[in-house]
Structure 1
Amino acid sequence: MRVIGLAGWSGAGKTTVVTRVIPELARRGVFVSTLKHAHHAFDLDTPGKDSHAHREAGAREVLISSERRWALMRELREEPEASLSELLARLSPVDLVIIEGFKREAHAKIEIHRAANGKPPLHPGDETIVAIASDIAFPEAGRPVVALDDIAAIADIMLAQAQPLAAVLARAGSQE
């Protein structure tokens, strides 16, 4: 497995890029999983459904299964948030894991930057950003810059810059 991240401010278009690049990678025969960081409390199940009732009743983990998919939800209660390395270790093997978010972690990342956001770029001073996908030019970036809508180029960069899982885990472990 290899790992690459997408980092950028909220509203920059990270999710849009992910949802557009996955079909491109699949067309190339690459099996992809994603890992997304959420900054706030979130819910996958719906109030009134059995899985929600199980979790609300105090279950530590709730596994939901059907003929089409299964999902495992773990309620942390008072435990600290899981580290990136712990989360990566839980994924089944694939060719490429795309991490959306976790911008302060040490894995290789492509910055997603949109000028209309009015936020400063992340890449100055961050050597983990290996390329930039943006709607503006960054001639002094010192790394590849591609257009936000050039999905084939973003896929090329992902495949070229993705790091082996073992290297990502080793780097993350040295930071924890």
Structure 2
Amino acid sequence: MRIARIWSRALMWLILAATLVAMALGIHDATVSDERLRTSLDWLPLIETVIADLVYAGVAVYFLYSFPERIRRGRTLALLHQLRSMAHVIDMHQLTKDPEMLRESFQPTAVSRPLDLSRDEMERYFEYCSEMLSLVGKTAALCAEESRDVVVLDTVSTIESLTVGMSRKIWQKISMLPR
């Protein structure tokens, strides 16, 4: 990341210097001439070239200046995508754990998976899932701790909302466990 920032800054200064040299040479060529009579229309191509050079140099400088930030954004968004995926995996693992399976009146079907957890083990399992979701949300917040990028901050907020919602559903399951 640091190398990309150094290279982009070096290229930015090189482009600015090349633009200034090109403008100085153009002005020199326009002012030094053997012709005695110069009209204001003779300056028109020079002005047009200077404006085009400034615009292109500005675009190049903006691109190079924002390059390290775009690299950082891409890496952060990739990490946040992995965290979102991890939250969904945690949620999928606890989906088969139904508190109703612990009730005495529960009648399993032919496709029902046997439950090998006691009530206390299932409660602990749900608590662990909730804690892992909390850790995923906090890790996402830490990823964007120093970022001011709106897209990254919005993604972090979405992941935190997602994990809180999933954790809420898990706690509802805990409250439904038979005593």
TM range (shorter): under 0.3
More helix, by proportion: 2
More strand, by proportion: 1
Taking structure 2 as the reference length, what is the TM-score of the superposition?
0.17
Taking structure 1 as the reference length, what is the TM-score of the superposition?
0.17
The structure that has the greater radius of gyration is: 2
